């Protein structure tokens, strides 16, 4: 399967590369990508694969008066999971509306918003080497230690979609810029915000070629049109070095460079 990352990835940077399709549970020596929402593809990336369409699904396994057990394929998009939760009155996944990507990518990043993250209601994951229980995985802020291909996951969710939380979480993302982007460039360092540090270092709105550190939120890199891999890497490394020089804080990538 050929993917043109200048059209497929959220930041619209990258060339055309052939990817292997994983249509069954098996191992893969390379990088498994999802929606390419937090990826920056280099001119010579590692070997890549993508899940087959049979891993795009959501189904109930069990239901009782208080909880439901739901299995979700790792190719399933966050927006689809959010809609399923809302339509079926399930609590705990309200935050997914404003988060892009597929379940596999969400698990890889332990994606979340404020006090919510994808591992909160997780029961187990099917990996290339079998099922892994949630209690055996050390999730942390924007971190999942698993490097194996992931195929589906099960969640135990309470009934009662939280409409108030839904509104609150939507507003929490209202300051994020529009345009081609891979979302946050860096993880927030302890006790601080990466965007605030980059802005204080004088880089908000700074441009290189077709890429720009957003003039709305400095922890976002925007492809204004025709941005290259080199443009993006230059700005990422400039922000990292300038923040360290000014404040002694080492910013850690949230975006994955392949």
Q: Which residues are catalytic?
A: 142, 184, 254
Nearest to 112 by CA among 33, 183, 218: 183
242 near 200, Cβ under 8 Å?
Answer: no
> Alpha-carbon dihedral of residues 102, 236, 169, 167, nearest 10 degrees?
-100
Q: DSSP string covering 36-69, please?
A: -SSEE--SSPPPEEEE-GGG--EEEEEE-SSEEE
Return the bridge partners of 77, or none.
Answer: 102
**Residue whose tokens read 């108030």:** 164
Residue whose token pair is 């050929």 = 2
Query: What dihedral do alpha carbons 155, 158, 161, 165 form, nearest 10°?
Result: -90
């Amino acid at each position: 399967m050929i993917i043109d990352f200048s059209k497929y990835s959220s930041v619209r940077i990258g060339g055309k590369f052939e990817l292997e399709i994983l249509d069954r549970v098996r191992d893969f020596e390379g990088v498994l990508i999802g929606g390419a929402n937090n990826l920056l593809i280099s001119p010579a990336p590692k070997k890549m694969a993508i899940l087959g369409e049979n891993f795009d699904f959501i189904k109930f396994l069990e239901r009782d008066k208080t909880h439901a057990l739901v299995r979700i394929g790792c190719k399933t998009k966050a927006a689809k999971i959010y809609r399923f939760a809302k339509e079926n009155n399930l609590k705990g996944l309200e935050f997914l509306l404003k988060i892009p990507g597929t379940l596999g990518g969400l698990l890889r990043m332990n994606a979340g918003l404020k006090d919510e993250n994808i591992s909160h209601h997780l029961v187990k994951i099917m990996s290339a080497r079998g099922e892994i229980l949630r209690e055996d995985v050390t999730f942390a802020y924007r971190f999942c230690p698993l490097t194996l291909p992931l195929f589906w996951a099960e969640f135990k969710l309470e009934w009662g979609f939280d409409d108030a939380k839904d509104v609150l979480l939507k507003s929490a993302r209202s300051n994020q810029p529009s345009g081609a982007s891979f979302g946050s460039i860096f993880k927030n360092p302890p006790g601080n915000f990466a965007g605030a540090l980059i802005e204080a270092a004088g880089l908000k709105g700074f441009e290189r070629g077709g890429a720009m550190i957003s003039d709305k939120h400095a922890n976002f890199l925007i492809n204004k049109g025709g941005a290259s891999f080199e443009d993006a890497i230059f700005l990422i490394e400039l922000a990292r070095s300038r923040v360290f020089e000014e404040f002694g804080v080492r910013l850690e990538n949230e975006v994955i460079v392949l």
